[in-house]
Structure 1
Amino acid sequence: MNTDKIKIFLDLAESLNFSRTAQNMNITQSAVSQSISSLERYLNTKLFYRSRKQVTLTPAGQLFYQGMHPVITQFNKAVTHAREVAQSVNTLLTIGFAGSGYDRYAINQLVQEYSKYKPDVKIFLENYDHRTMVSRLKQGFCDVVLTRPESIDSGITLSYQKLLDGRFYAVCSKHYGYAGSRPV
């Protein structure tokens, strides 16, 4: 079954007029009839009651319409999104991060700074455990990952760029008895 037959069915279910559906779909009335007949054979049920003066949905046709309308709507959205992505290949940046406190701080800073210089680039953030993040980088699903050079197998050729300086803080319970003379 192809989506064209389903789209023809949906149009006919809304218009209840073979001629209007043919016009809407830019096909012949005969092609509408053939598509509906083919769909009915595939489903092994009648979808429409037909007479010379009127076309109405059968109960099975009503259920099929209710089920397929959101599916085709979502399908059309996915197609549109895929086309937009394909047209904007150079305007997408996927950043992988493991989710540490520093990563979250760094992501916020990096996205803000980068967006000032490249406002047309859409940034996608992917949060994974370290092993998955590195695997996604190797497979080309991430453009950039936040990590340290020693965290990735030495068998991979990568370039590393220091992006931010930061500090780590140890947060302890007030009941923890730190006996050091210098701050942690």
Structure 2
Amino acid sequence: MDLRQLRYFVATAEELHFGRAAERLHIAQPALSIQIKGLEETLGVKLLDRTNRSVALTKAGTLFLTEARRTLAQAQHAAEVARRAGRGEIGRIEIGYSVDVSYSGVLSKALREYRKTAPDVELGLHELHPSTQIAQLQEGRIEVGFVASFVGNPAWKLPPELDTIRLMEWPLRLALPADHALAKRARIPREALADEPFIAYVGSDIEQDRALVQLTLGFTPRVVHETRSAFSLVSLVGAGLGVAIVPGSVSTYSVGEHVVYRPLSGNTIQVATDLVFKCDGQSPTVSKFLQTLRVTEAFGTGNPGKARSVPRATTSPVRHR
């Protein structure tokens, strides 16, 4: 028994006339009769009572018609599920993101745009440090990652099997107390900060985070406090305990009127949000996700980039914030 036989039987049962059923199915009447007879032989039961003048359903045929319709409907549904999965419209996608990306608003904007095109795809969201995301991408545990990286940091490279789309870039800013003497300046020269107490953000790789601050400033700062939270960092600046280097995205954080943000002169390092993924072997769901974010205009004032805009490495990637 196959789906074709079920379709032939349903048409015949609904028409109760072999000629009309054959015309509806676009086949010859003898071929239809052969298929119905073969179905009855397979089931070992008579489905239709035939005479020269009429066709009627047997009791078994009436019950079988209900189940045949259900089976055909389920088969059609299964086929549509497969087609939608092939177009990336349903399924599940495992997404990693770093806490910095969620603070910046890029994650919410990206997912909002994607949900417009694929509302039935299930999202598996995992808050992970960028270096953990890189490892899990290589292992296949997540499929895409939203990673905060430092533009202009020569140490950061991606493994060669990973690719990237740059979604946004922000310049670094100096956060300082609103009543600080330097707050009156429109731009802060780095040399003016040599004697300032600094509050530093440190992630899972403390030495590298310290090195990046030094690279940004051009000297080793006098760090008086370290914190693992951007919110805590800005709060400590607002309390007057020091100044801090922060991404431009952090400048939206409000601590009353106690913190101001100023650009640094001579700084070329920026913070970016990159969408990282495997170069090959993408599922239709991932391909659609990437296609959506390549063409979306959700990121407004950022500087959208092209794929392969981040250097590759032949060794393990360095950790970054």
Give the TM-score of the pair, scaled to structure 1: 0.59
| Residues 10-159 of structure 1 aligned to structure 2 (within 5 Å) | 10-86=10-86, 88-89=87-88, 94-96=92-94, 110=107, 113-116=110-113, 119-122=116-119, 124-125=121-122, 145-148=125-128, 150=132, 156=139
Contact 1:93/1:121 (CA < 8 Å) preserved in 2? Answer: no
Task: Mark the runs of 5 or more structure 2 residues left unpaired by the alignment.
Answer: 149-228, 232-321
Q: Distance in 2 between matches of 1:166 and 1:74?
A: 52
Instruction: Give the partner amino acid of 1:94.
Output: R
Shift of 1:125: 1.3
Change (3 A) 1:67 1:117: closer
Contact 2:92/2:122 (CA < 8 Å) preserved in 1? Answer: yes
Contact 1:49/1:55 (CA < 8 Å) preserved in 2? Answer: yes
Q: Secondary structure at the match of 1:30?
A: helix
Contact 2:18/2:29 (CA < 8 Å) preserved in 1? Answer: yes
Q: Distance in 2 between matches of 1:112 and 1:51?
A: 68
Q: Which has the higher contact order (CA 8 A, sep 6+)?
A: 2
Q: Secondary structure at the match of 2:146?
A: coil
Change (3 A) 1:111 1:27: farther
Shift of 1:118: 7.4
Change (3 A) 1:38 1:126: farther
Identity %: 24
Q: What is the RMSD computed on CA atoms of the aligned residues?
A: 3.8
Instruction: Give the partner amino acid of 2:4.
Output: D
Contact 1:5/1:36 (CA < 8 Å) preserved in 2? Answer: yes
Q: Distance in 2 between matches of 1:5 and 1:154?
A: 47
Q: Counting strand residues as a fraction of each chain, which structure ranks higher? A: 2
Q: Counting helix residues as a fraction of each chain, which structure ranks higher? A: 1
Shift of 1:2: 1.2
Q: Distance in 2 between matches of 1:126 and 1:58?
A: 50
Shift of 1:79: 1.3
Q: Distance in 1 between matches of 2:4 and 2:58?
A: 21
Shift of 1:126: 5.4
Shift of 1:63: 1.1
Q: Distance in 1 between matches of 2:32 and 2:43?
A: 17
Change (3 A) 1:154 1:79: closer
Q: Distance in 2 between matches of 1:83 and 1:117?
A: 19
Residues matched between the structures, number: 140
Q: Secondary structure at the match of 1:161?
A: strand
